[in-house]
Amino acid sequence: MSTAVRKPTSNLSKRMLILCGTIALLQTAFAGYLGLMINDTFSQMEKVKRAKNIVGRLSRLSNLTQSMTLEVLENVTTHSHQRNPEKYTQGLTDIAASYPKEFTQLKRDFRDYPEVRKDFEELLDNYQEGVDLMQKLRNKLTESREHYFLLYKLQEASNSTTERLEKLLVKFSRTEQAASDELKTQSVGMIVFTLAIGVSINLGIALLLFRYVFVQVTKRLKIVADNTVNLAMGKPLAAPITGDDEIAQLDNAIRDLGHILDDYKSKERTILENAAEFICSLNDKGVFTEVNQASSGLWGYSPDDLIGRRLSSLTQAESTERTLEAIDRLFYQGQSVSFENTIRKKDGEHLDLLWSAQPGEDHSSAVLIAHDITERNRVRRLMRESEERFRKIIDSLPLSVLSLNNAFQITSANPTTTKMFQYHVNELLGREFSILFTGSSTGGADDAAIVKAAETHSLELQSYRKDGSPLAVSFMANRYFNHGKEYSLAVLQDITTRREIENVKRDFISMISHDLRSPLTSLHGTLGMMAAQMGDRKEKSKTAEEQVEIETLVEAENKIGKLVCLINDFLDLEKIESGAFAFETQETTALKLVSLANDSLNEMCPDKNRTITCDTPDAHMPFRADVERLVLAVVSFALAILRFSDNSNDVSVNVERTPGRVSLFITSTGCIIPEQTRETCLKRYAIVDLAQHDTWTVSGLSLALARATVEGHRGTLSIESRNGRDGFAITLPS
């Protein structure tokens, strides 16, 4: 297959150029010949004109001569020359004066006629003779005899001149007639000849054009046109056109295009046969006429199984009508259609398909492509089911869930909202959110402030039901976008029961504080005083019974003291978590905190030789905190670290300073905190068993108090692993 692009040689253009040049040359020659003929005609016309001028001058000279002769005869007969010689003389003089001008013009005209030069010279001699005689007449007017003789001579000269003029006049009249006849004959002949030449040239050109263009070129172009039609219809092409002109090149280009199209068709056929999508062709009856090989893998039917079958025979009953309507629009309305249906595969399974159909130009066939959307529909069904489940969950939540637009108007509400506030859902839709807190609209200003605050933390607000009764709620909000529009999701929880519980808890704490801690404190003091008094006695005076009593008193004092400390920790934790505890902050450093914690740890366990160290450079950076409370927290974290460490009594505190924050990482060598312990050790009242120390347990109250202390300082607490060691990471604002 040749697909190379040939460079045009323009042979056809050269031939046409030569043909046009030849035509132009012939037309130019014809125009030149026509110009010569016209120029010769102009010459003949000029010759006729000169002959006419000569004839006219000769006629005027003849008239002058006759006038002069008549004048002389009249004078002879009437003797007027005697009565009025001056008038007579003046008349002859006037007639004679006209001769020189005419003879001068004749002399100039006769230059082109040498054959009459002798006659013209004789005429001039007669004229000169007449002039001499007229001069003598003027001198002999008084002498009658001489005068008459001269008149006779003048009459002879005039007659001779008239004869010669008549002779020349006849000759040039003939010349003029001959020139006129020749001009007329030449003009007619030139026209006839010119027309004959022009017609002959044009007929030759027409025959040449017909032979070259309408026979050769048209015949070859017909072959090109037939090849173009055959190429479009997929039929074999005619024999190649010989030559290397543009028509032959066009025929070769069409053949190259045919090869390219054959290649494309082959590739297209390969693509269609190996396409993953189902591609087919239907006639206007909805019957398969062509099917690609993908049908075997997708539907289980081979192409031979499908060709001749109706598409509607494979569809599910609920989608058959939709399929037939789409086929009607495709063929009878000539529209490109897209539709969905469900077909039965050969193995009986169902397949959801999305069809794209394009009608043919004759509207008797159409090409369809089927896309498998079974998985997409399954996902959509799951999404719809998920949305329905989510909607049911929202509707069944014991929380009021509202959707607010950017104007803080209620756009949706779940059934719990209507139960909580005793409003019908239609009474809330489109109303401002503030109606739930004030019973009326506030213009949106308060709504914006409340929603913005609820986006960062939970708010406890006083709301009102439709009947005006109060309802304590906690409110949280979050922004979301739907179809490019901003909305807010508001969640309201009825905290009436929780507040009742808090009131009971507050009463319980008050009871512990007054009815339990005070007696225990008094008892602790009393036991301490009794143990001190009995201990002041001399060892020798103490009996064994007394010694046992002293030890019992000391043990009771310690237990009562621990119970008092536990009650104090419980009360402090409640105050911190409720926000009622006032931290006494002062400027301090991490190094000072660690030093005080180390001293406190040694006082608590003087026999354990435990230490808390801090040697990082950032430990000297100051920050504000409640030193006493943070020291207790650090000690609690250090004790927990030591209990999770293997044979280590040293706790290290690493300090890092970042802009606006100070971080402490409390750890020890070999400290490993189990994953299940990380989630429980910081909770209130949690008891953690230590596998490596079977005799030790950790009360979660101390760690919970330490965590509350850190969070009360607007800090964060987490358990992390650094360099193979677990520890507590504390971050505090600086």
pLDDT of residue 4: 43
pLDDT tens for residues 625-647? 888 888 888 888 888 888 888 77
Res 693 pLDDT > 60: no
* Distance separating alpha carbons of residues 366 and 338, to the nearest angstrom: 13
Q: Is the pTM value of this prediction over 0.85?
A: no
pLDDT band at 5 (very low <50, low <70, confident <90, very high): very low
In SS3 terms, 527-594 reads as HHHHHHHHHCCCHHHCCHHHHHHHHHHHHHHHHHHHHHHHHHHHHHHHHHHHCCCCCCCEEEEHHHHH
pLDDT tens for residues 93-121? 666 666 677 777 776 766 666 666 676 67
Q: Which residue has the tokens 């990082």?
A: 616
pLDDT band at 492 (very low <50, low <70, confident <90, very high): very high
* Distance separating alpha carbons of residues 253 and 244, to the nearest angstrom: 12
Res 137 pLDDT > 70: no
Res 692 pLDDT > 50: no
pLDDT band at 6 (very low <50, low <70, confident <90, very high): very low
477 contacts 449 by C-beta, under 8 angstroms: no
Burial of residue 3, with CB atoms counted within 10 A of its CB: 0-12 exposed, 13-18 middle, 19 or more buried: exposed
Region of poorest pLDDT, from 2-16, 196-210, 444-458, 641-655: 2-16
Task: Identify the residue with better confidence: 495 or 246.
Answer: 495
pLDDT band at 184 (very low <50, low <70, confident <90, very high): low
Res 686 pLDDT > 70: no
pLDDT band at 191 (very low <50, low <70, confident <90, very high): low
Q: Which residue has the tokens 């295009």?
A: 257
In SS3 terms, 35-84 reads as HHHHHHHHHHHHHHHHHHHHHHHHHHHHHHHHHHHHHHHHHHHHCHHHHC
pLDDT band at 84 (very low <50, low <70, confident <90, very high): low
Q: Calculate mean pLDDT across residues 330-359.
A: 89
pLDDT of residue 698: 45
Res 293 pLDDT > 70: yes
Q: Which residues pair with 661 in a beta bridge?
A: 658, 733
Res 656 pLDDT > 80: yes
Mean pLDDT for the chain?
77
Give the DSSP H or E segment for 666.
strand 661-668
Q: What is the DSSP string of 456-502?
A: TS-EEEEEE-TTS-EEEEEEEEEEEEETTEEEEEEEEEE-HHHHHHH
Q: Calculate mean pLDDT across residues 34-58.
A: 72
pLDDT of residue 540: 47
Region of poorest pLDDT, from 68-77, 238-247, 685-694: 685-694
- Give me the helices (H) in 110-217, please: 117-139, 144-209
Q: DSSP code of 241? A: P
Give the start-end residues of each E strand in 238-374. 278-283, 288-291, 337-344, 350-359, 365-372
pLDDT tens for residues 263-291? 777 776 666 666 668 888 898 888 998 88
pLDDT of residue 89: 63
Q: Which residue has the tokens 């199209």?
A: 261
Q: Who contacts 273 (Cβ-Cβ below 8 Å, separation ≥6)? A: 292, 293, 294
Region of poorest pLDDT, from 361-375, 456-470, 568-582, 652-666: 568-582
640 contacts 698 by C-beta, under 8 angstroms: yes
CA distances from 111 to 41, 52, 99 (A): 21, 15, 18
Backbone angles phi, psi at 333, to 5 degrees: -110, -10
Q: DSSP code of 7? A: P
pLDDT tens for residues 321-343? 889 988 888 888 888 899 999 99
Residue 315: helix, strand or coil by DSSP?
strand
pLDDT of residue 491: 92
pLDDT of residue 434: 83
Q: DSSP code of 176? A: H
Q: Calculate mean pLDDT across residues 289-310.
A: 86
pLDDT of residue 696: 41
